[in-house]
Amino acid sequence: MRIAMISMHTSPLEQPGVGDAGGMNVYIINTARQLARRGVTVDVYTRATRPSQGEIVEVEENLRVINVIAGPYEGLAKEELPTQLAAFAGGVIEFVRCRQGLAYDAIHSHYWLSGQVGWLLRDLWDVPLIHTAHTLAAVKNAHRSEGDTPESEARRICEQQLVDNADLLVVNTVDETRELVAHYDADAAKIEVVPPGADTELFTPGTHRNTELSRRHLGIPLHAKVVAFVGRLQEFKGPQVLLRATAEIFERDPHRNLRVIICGGASGASASSSTYRNLAGELGLANRVRFLDPRPPEELVSVYQAADIVAVPSYNESFGLVAMEAQATGTPVVAAAVGGLPIAVADGETGLLVHGHDPAQWADALEQLLDDDERRIAMGEAAVGHAAQFSWAASAGRLAAVYERALAIELPDCQGRKAQG
């Protein structure tokens, strides 16, 4: 089986936490690797962002990333990428045309921009299209914070077209199935649930010595309690919620020995890491919060191991990969009770779920675990077993079954294609 994966707006080889790279990048590279190891040949098409990348990157046997030139390498925001859809699609078509005998059994597109390209290629190549949205405009708008910019109606329309025209839709959770049906009138019969995983060989529990070393390397006091945030710095991910909750905790107890780690980079056209550094200063937390640049998974392990708690205050998450990685390292999670996080986190067993984003509520939840060492440690131990139920190998196995189902679908002829819009 040969699969064309489309990830137009961000390469799976990019560092998560930088710009538009995040959980989707982690999902694509890990499922692609595991599919390749099962014998499925995977080509991931993405937009070239620097000439040094080369056209083809051989990642491992059966897996390569193909960089397609579409627009300038740099200076093109994600919001401007719709102007390059035709150029990107043309680049993919040219790549295949110039390699005699190259053909795909199916297309798997990720995110709505890629889906629009995949929709065109599906009809051109006469192969099934599997689409994973990862995030949805209607859902983001329903859950966005007060100061967050709403997603455009143009994006929502494009997503509706994909829901109507893709042969199969892949989601992370049953909750996403309900959202697709409620917001996009999707046919539940063509939706497949494939939970993401965690690299449980890389993200492992740390010993007491690991924690000490991690804190030394990060410049964190050994005897402080530590709460960490890992992810892109944008309103939707909620770092401002954690900062305000931390200020509330210190207002209650100015002498508390607490430190906060914020690990990530700015994301979005108007986003800036200085926004959150300035907020920390305004809240009197300049000496209590440590900002770290995004780092590769091999180094991210030490951030999780250095923390007593990982906070995930997002306004919505299709699953919550950070929560799963943290739990795999034996660190309990305090997360918002939104999207797939109630599945990623076992409430009361491996962490706590907070309903809403009120800083006082978040301060209450964090204090519960910060002040109860026995309960927090027990949750961390339970978290390892919980995370072990989710693996990328299992995710890839389910995806392979989805591809097999797609191959068995009789594609509609010209009279059977649904109208656009």
Q: Cβ distance 32 to 58 under 8 Å?
A: no
Can you read off the two tokens belonging to residue 7? 């990830």
Count the alpha carbons within 13 Å of 187 in the hemisphere toward its beta carbon: 10
Determine the number of helices (DSSP H) and then strands (DSSP E) in the chain: 15, 14
> How far from 266 is each of 118, 247, 302, 392, CA to CA, in Å?
29, 22, 21, 27
Binding residue numbers:
9, 15-16, 20-25, 78, 111, 135, 155, 232, 237, 295, 304-305, 307, 317, 325, 331
Can you read off the two tokens belonging to residue 294? 């995004």
Residue 364 neighbours by CB under 8 Å, 6+ apart: none
> How far from 179 is each of 139, 174, 188, 336, CA to CA, in Å?
7, 9, 10, 18
Binding residue numbers for Mg(2+):
304-305, 307, 331
- The Cα–Cα gap between 182 and 133 comes to 15
Q: Where are the alpha helices (DSSP H) in 104-173?
A: 111-125, 137-143, 153-165
**DSSP β-bridge partners for residue 106:** 3
Binding residue numbers for 1D-myo-inositol 3-phosphate:
9, 20-25, 78, 111, 135, 155
Three-class DSSP category at 130: strand
From its phi and psi, is residue 192 left (phi > 0), alpha (psi between -120 and 50) or beta? beta
- The Cα–Cα gap between 266 and 284 comes to 22
Three-class DSSP category at 147: coil
Binding residue numbers for UDP-N-acetyl-alpha-D-glucosamine:
15-16, 23, 232, 237, 295, 317, 325
